Homo-oligomer: A and B are copies of this chain.
Amino acid sequence: MKKIMNTADTFVRDTMEGIIAAHGDQIALLDGDHQVLVRAGGPTPGRVGIVTAGGSGHLPLFLGYVGGGMLDGCAVGEVFASPSAEKMASMIRACDSGAGVLALYGNYNGDVFNFEMACEDVEFDDVATRQVRVRDDVASSPADRAEKRRGVAGLVLAYKIAGAAADRMMSLDEITEVTERALANIRSMGVALSPCIVPKVGTPGFSIAEDEIEIGMGIHGEAGIEVRPMMTAEEIADLLLAKIREDMPLAAGDEVSVLVNGLGSTPLEEQYILYRTAHRILGELGVDVVRPQVGEFATSMEMAGLSLTVMKLDAELKELLLAPASTPFYTNANR
């Protein structure tokens, strides 16, 4: 196994120590716990706290979005594993300044279970919480069971919306409402070309043939909906957008934001080649693209592949999307 690491057992701890060494001016470990990260300086008085959690191995997801205009805290687990309810509860308490806390996270069983427990736990301390589960991956479950879908790169847009809403000092219920409205307008769909290697396992958990592409694979290697012979970038863009549009129709005059997300080892060049066609197709439909984003936002370590996320905008969502943000891994400098 060719990973630049010390030992598989210290992979997450060493990563967190490196992140704090580099960005300690912006983010801090809560009470020295290397699995709980909060904004340096603590929560803003009167502002609703926005927190998340998830397994390691997806940088910049999840912790990369802790910072100005986005998240107040993030609990991380081992690679591809949920952190404990106890750590989530400590984080929620630390991120409450009296206005309550929104737990905004991907719809995975471990995270759901642990956040449920954590939110119950902090009730005893009179911390008001709401939970919003991101479930943007259209490939992970059909439309009639959309509540079972997993969260993927749409998480980043959800963090952006919720964080900007919190910056406006909206109430916990208002932020929950606008974030749910954003999610009703966010869909993602991805393809994978190669597996990734969990450090403690040391070998790929699955394989994809050299001339094949897996449509709809999840960011932990969850099986997709179909394996096809390798496709061109135009065919991939066309397919991803078609699957998204089947689930969320787009019409002339709509405004959307688009996020192309590299899963790990797919070069930025290829991500832009994909974006080129997505942009053209949306243009032909009369759909306007606002603030497109192309890069690595939610990875699976060295997995090759990418996902496409489309978010339909209304006036409020657009303003929240364009509001400033500044975290160690994400800057929206409002040009």
Chain A residues proximal to chain B, CB less than 8 Å: 2-7, 11, 14-15, 17-19, 21-22, 25-26, 56-57, 59-60, 193-194, 210-211, 213, 230, 232-234, 236, 264-276, 279-280, 292, 294, 296, 299, 301-302, 304, 306, 326, 331, 333, 335
A295: nearest chain-B partner, CB-CB: B329
Top 5 nearest A-B pairs (CB, nearest first) are A265-B265, A18-B272, A18-B276, A4-B270, A59-B268
Q: Which of B4, B264, B270, B276 contacts A274 (CB 8 A)?
A: B4
Q: Chain B residues near A236 (CB, 8 Å)?
A: 4
Known: A18-B294, A279-B18. A269 touches B11 (CB 8 A): yes
15 sampled A-B residue pairs with Cβ under 8 A: A2-B210, A2-B211, A2-B213, A4-B266, A5-B233, A6-B234, A7-B232, A14-B276, A15-B273, A17-B276, A18-B272, A59-B269, A264-B267, A269-B301, A326-B333
Docked pose: A233 CA to B17 CA in angstroms? 13
* B266-A302 in contact (CB<8A): yes
| Chain copies in the assembled complex | 2
A276: nearest chain-B partner, CB-CB: B18
Name the residue in A3, A213, A264, A306 with the highest tally of chain B Cβ atoms < 10 Å from its Cβ: A3
* A233-B302 in contact (CB<8A): no
Shortest A217–chain B CB gap in Å is: 14
Q: Chain B residues near A331 (CB, 8 Å)?
A: 331, 333
* B275-A18 in contact (CB<8A): yes
* A6-B273 in contact (CB<8A): yes
Q: Which of B6, B25, B211, B273 contacts A335 (CB 8 A)?
A: B25
* A2-B194 in contact (CB<8A): yes
* B56-A276 in contact (CB<8A): no
* B269-A57 in contact (CB<8A): yes
Shortest A297–chain B CB gap in Å is: 11
Known: A265-B264, A333-B333. A270 touches B3 (CB 8 A): yes
* B275-A22 in contact (CB<8A): yes
* A306-B14 in contact (CB<8A): no
Docked pose: A124 CA to B225 CA in angstroms? 62
Docked pose: A57 CA to B267 CA in angstroms? 8
* A14-B273 in contact (CB<8A): yes
Q: Chain B residues near A213 (CB, 8 Å)?
A: 2
